[in-house]
Amino acid sequence: MIGADPSTVSESRGERPVPRPPPALILLGAAAAAFFVVPLTALLIRAPWSDLPSLLGDPAVIAALRLSAITTTSATVLSLVFGVPLAWLLARAEFRGKSLVRAFVLLPMVLPPVVGGMALLLALGRRGLVGQWLDSLLGVTLPFTTTAAVIATTFVAMPFLVITVEAAFRNLDSRMEDAAVTLGAGTGTVFWRITLPLAAPSIAAGACLSAARALGEFGATITFAGSVEGRTQTLPLAVLAALESNDPDAAIAMSLVMMALSMIILIALRRYWLALR
């Protein structure tokens, strides 16, 4: 090897040599990794594994689990049902104020959730913009109901689906749709049989992201729906409640459940993201 860089170590002949990283990068990178590894490991180590069945069997915990299942699933389904059409419109349709609409839709992604909860309260609360009509005309009061928890969760979760799926619709080769049209397909058939299946991996990825966000949703829910046990108290809210009532074991147990669920979502997401490449 003539003039070989000594910092370059060739692992085996014929392969691209892997450069040895600079020490500063190793140090900072390792610190960052530890920053994630240590807390999550602490949770696993401190978990009251033997008491876990009884802790999770507590009626309050079961109620929270049930509510989280309801809100997460409902929010994901609602995001799909309404978010996919919205993403299509944003990607394909031409209308005035489109950028403004997009900004409004995506804002909840970056907005502090408590602000989202306030906004929902002002819109759908008993004295709210829309809420007062719901109350007087239909006799429906949303705040502090499970429906409110679902609405708050959907509010923060749907933008993740919309942004992912809109990008997919935008990047889709529209000539595929042209090909379908020349084969006699009407706009409906093109959407259901060509556009949607081609965007399926992105839609699945968007749904996973929404589900992850929905599972962890806290701020908007507590603001708009409160933390009513059995009605609006989802797992994250129940963890806080457990901590406040000095029951750290229950809080850890529920945290473990959410960690496991998050792990499942992450694995699913990885699959769809790999499929996208």
Residue 277 sits in the site that holds other proteins (CB under 8 A)? no
CA distance 219 to 164: 23
Using CB under 8 A as the binding rule, whether residue 172 contacts other proteins is answered as no
Contact call for residue 179 and other proteins (CB under 8 A): yes
How far is 197 from 83, CA to CA, in rounded Å?
16
Q: How far apart are CA 206 and CA 157, in angstroms?
A: 10
Does 182 bind other proteins (CB under 8 A)? Our answer is yes
185 near other proteins, judged by CB under 8 A: yes
Shortest distance in whole angstroms from residue 173 CB to other proteins: 8
Window 110 to 129, contacts with other proteins (CB under 8 A): none
Which residue's CB is nearer to other proteins, number 136 or number 174? 174
Note whether 196 and 203 are within 8 A (CB). yes
CB 176 → other proteins: shortest distance, Å? Answer: 6
| 51 near other proteins (CB under 8 A) | no
273 vs 208: CA distance, rounded Å: 10
Instruction: Give the residue among 244, 239, 199 at the shortest CA–CA distance from 83.
Output: 199
Options 6, 23, 53, 184; binder of other proteins; rule CB under 8 A:
184
- The residue among 65 and 168 lying less far from other proteins, judged by its C-beta, is 168
Q: What is the DSSP string of 112-159?
A: -HHHHHHHHHHHHSTTSTTHHHIIIII----TTSHHHHHHHHHHHHHH
Nearer of residues 69 and 181 to other proteins, judged by Cβ: 181
Binding site for other proteins (CB under 8 A): 173, 175-176, 178-186, 189, 193-194, 197-198, 200
